[in-house]
Amino acid sequence: GNVVTGEMVEELLLSGADIIKIGIGPGSVCTTRKQTGVGYPQLSAILECADAAHGLNGHVISDGGCTCPGDFSKAFGGGADFVMAGGMFASHAESGGDLVEIQGKLYKQFYGMSSAVAMNKHAGGVAEYRSSEGKAVILPYKGPVANTVTDILGGIRSSCTYVGASKLKELSRRTTFIRVSQQLNEVFGSKDESKHPVFAAIPDHSVTAEAGEKGQEAKRARKD
């Protein structure tokens, strides 16, 4: 199970645990907050729980809430020793789930472990005393996970350079958090459209210019 308060982290560590998993409700396929009203903002939970754990030589895992590479950096910056991210790694070639084709496009199913799908598959169904606290979704197939891992690692490395951390474990000591009302400038949306077909139709003038320069050099060489 997961916890989100410093008191529970201390109690579990004093009871013999080595690593504590932090997070209630932030997962992409988790509906605990909706079904039960129970939860805690993930970054606040990390900050509080990491401080409690490290005071007792324990470690914490941030479980859930990551939607982009920057969220990994924030988790490590908040003091997490490890980061779990199911949603960002879902629907790749290496991830679980059957690959299905629908109208010529490939998809994979992704579901929370407290969802009805998971409990029907692994626990014989949803127990009468409780409700499902997860959902199942169908995601476009993303191919090999290597590109996603490279993107995440690249973001974390850049985060370290911005704040002056020479090692990942220094990130939390170099990080300051501030409250904002808006994080991203989305005047043109949040999706990178560099692979849009219209970009392929735009001539690459840098290549043309380079070819032109080489042509001029060849002409001068022939004259010489």
Active site residues: 30, 32
CA–CA distance, 171 with 177 (Å, rounded to integer): 12
- Residue 92, beta-bridge partner list: 143
CA–CA distance, 106 with 99 (Å, rounded to integer): 7
Contacts with 67 (C-beta within 8 Å, 6 or more apart), sequence order = 28, 87, 88
| Distance (Å) of CA 216 to CA 31, 168, 204, 220 | 65, 50, 19, 6
Burial class (CB in 10 A: 0-12, 13-18, 19+), 126: middle
